[in-house]
Amino acid sequence: HVRYRMEASCLELALEGERLCKAGDCRAGVSFFEAAVQVGTEDLRTLSAIYSQLGNAYFYLHEYAKALEYHHHDLTLARTIGDLLGEAKASGNLGNTLKVLGNFEEAIVCCQRHLDISRELNDKVGEARALYNLGNVYHSKGKNVASAGTHDPGDLPDDVKNALQKAANYYEENLTIVTELGDRAAQGRAFGNLGNTHYLLGNFRSAVLAHEQRLLIAKEFGDRSAERRAYSNLGNAYIFLGEFETASEYYKRTLQLARQLKDRAVEAQACYSLGNTYTLLQDYEKAIDYHLKHLVIAQELNDKIGEGRACWSLGNAYTALGNHDQAIHFAERHLEISREVGDRSGELTARLNLSDLQMVLGLSYSTNNSMMSESHVVENSFNGTRPRAGRRHSMENMELMKLTPEKKSSRE
Amino acid sequence: SQPLSGHQAAELQSKVVPSKQILHSDNMEMEPETMETKSVTDYFNKLHMGSLVYSCTSKRKNK
């Protein structure tokens, strides 16, 4: 009788945990699952389900170390009781968690196990989900290596390209299956991530096609967050196709939806993207307008990095308009913030911007640092035609001009 | 230091373009992950559960 009571209470606690997680309250759900584990059960399948749900709850709460621990317990248990389907699921969840933690090689092993078992069990749904997870791991792996350097989309080392190409292949395989299954939601997810993978590979036309499909499915479901994501990704792709007008239209839709969804951080990002797009269109007044909107939200959200970027962008835009007083004001603010957040490269950029502006104004700007005198030397050797490599971030955009010859000619 | 010539000032202006790095590598919007789910009701032995539920409810009735 005591054992029965214990079993019942473990089960009841777990069922309450399930209910709470389904209702979206993972924090409370975790408490009930933890209590259920404390009470204990002799039914190992029940315990496995509790571990799995604890792992997922911690995953959604972004507590990945704990998620890893519980999915690992689940995997061990599933193997112990010879539950093959349970093992596949635990492997997939473990793989996703390892991916987020940046352990890509182990993540691949786990996701591959999920795939192998699903195929062995002839489980098409599981197979498709494992393929999507594998695509995500390779995408993250590629992006992670790429971000260690300073690469633009399409300009990548071989190992990055290989990882991204693998990701694209897995998404394509996933799409084949979920299309057969008629699973539109899964198609939407695969199109979105496939589009982003093409974007990183520099296949901007393919990226557009994939994101257009994603957009279509988002609208079918009335999923406004997904719709907003698609607009934003479409904007990014059109920038690199050199179609800045089209990009601005998509970013405007992103902004519209961000406001509807009352997501201030996303709204700030959309304003920032629009500011940059109008800079590319050389409409500096509009650029300033959007960068100021971005600045206001960054300050409101206490996002120092965003604020620094806004000041830097505003400094550049005011420089372009020849409004040097405002340019200096924002360049100084950029310098202050870069120091505050310990952004060394931002600090260097800000100093160079300031020294350039002082040159223009013929000021002898007094700062008590050795950087200034060094930058004077740089200035004097700067012949005004070939910028020094790594001189400043904005130089990278000289590369962008190669993509957009029509812009190049209009700049003369 | 010497002030820049008009040509150099124009050069300074023409260099003002936002960074591609900042512009477009860190705001790619990914789709959410999908996690595999298990439920205690999937795994719980229905017969066992039936007897449990019976024992629970009958106890409650006796109270």
Per-residue confidence (pLDDT) for residue A232, from 0 to 100: 98
DSSP state of A331: H
Instruction: Say whether residue B47 is in contact with chain A using an 8 A CB cutoff.
Output: no
Provide, rounded to the nearest whole percent, the portion of chain A with pLDDT above 90: 81
Residue-level pLDDT at B46:
52
Strand, coil or helix: A220: helix
A152's enclosing H/E stretch is none
Check CB contact under 8 Å for B8 and A364. Answer: no
Helix or strand (DSSP H, E) at A259: helix A244-260
Pick B24's closest partner by Cβ from A153, A192, A395. A153
CB pair distance less than 8 Å for B3 and A279: no
pLDDT at residue A359 above 90?
Answer: no
Q: Tell me the C-alpha distance between A348 and A53, whole Å.
A: 48
Minimum distance, in Å, between the CA of residue A91 and any CA atom of chain B = 9
pLDDT in tens, A257-311: 999 999 999 999 999 999 999 999 999 999 999 999 999 999 999 999 999 999 9
The pLDDT tens digits for B9-36 are: 555 554 444 444 344 445 899 999 999 9
Token readout for A71 is 């999915």
Q: Tell me whether A46 touches chain B (CB under 8 Å).
A: yes
Closest-CA distance, A260 to chain B, in angstroms, reads: 18
Q: Looking at the complex, does the CB of residue B37 fall below 8 Å from at least one CB of chain A? A: yes
The model's pLDDT over A26-74, given as tens digits with 9 standing for 90+, comes to 999 999 999 999 999 999 999 999 999 999 999 999 999 999 999 999 9
List of chain B residues whose C-beta atoms are within 8 Å of the C-beta of residue A149? none
Give B42→chain A minimum CA distance, Å: 8
Q: Which residues of B touch A357 (CB under 8 A)?
A: 12
CB nearest to B21's CB, from A43, A362, A396: A396
Cα A193 from Cα A186, distance rounded (Å): 11
Q: CA-CA distance, A153 to A136, in Å (whole number)?
A: 18
Distance from CA of B61 to the nearest CA of A (A): 15
The model's pTM is: 0.81
What is the distance in angstroms between the Cα of B5 and the nearest Cα belonging to chain A? 8
Q: Which residues from B are below 8 Å from A100, CB to CB?
A: 33
B19 → closest Cβ in A129, A133, A396 = A396
The predicted model gives A142-165 an average pLDDT of 84
B20 at the A interface (CB within 8 A)? yes
Which residues in chain A are contacts of B12 at CB distance < 8 A? 319, 356-357, 359-360
Residue of B nearest to A391 (CA): B15
Phi then psi for residue A101, to 5 deg, are -80, -5
Predicted pLDDT at B6: 53
Interface probe for B, chosen from A41, A121, A152, A395 (most Cβ of B below 10 Å), is A152
Of B9, B17, B44, the CB nearest to A279: B17
What lies within 8 Å, CB to CB, of A150 at 6+ separation is A396, B21
Nearest to A49 among B14, B35, B42 (CB): B42
> How buried is B57 (Cβ within 10 angstroms: 0-12 exposed, 13-18 middle, 19+ buried)?
exposed
> Which tokens hold the place of A151?
């690469």
Contacts of A188 in chain B (CB under 8 A): 31
Whole-number Cα distances in Å, A87 to A37, A57, A84, A92, A118 = 20, 19, 5, 9, 10
d(CA A341, CA A330): 16
Residue B27 contacts A where some CB pair is shorter than 8 Å: yes
Report d(CA A316, CA A323) in Å as an integer: 10
pLDDT tens track for A303-347: 999 999 999 999 999 999 999 999 999 999 999 999 999 999 999
How far apart CA A341 and CA A338 sit, in angstroms, is 5
* Across A136-147, average pLDDT: 92
Q: From the list A86, A229, A397, which residue is nearest B17 (CB)?
A: A397
Sign, CA torsion A200/A205/A206/A210: positive
Mean pLDDT of chain A: 88
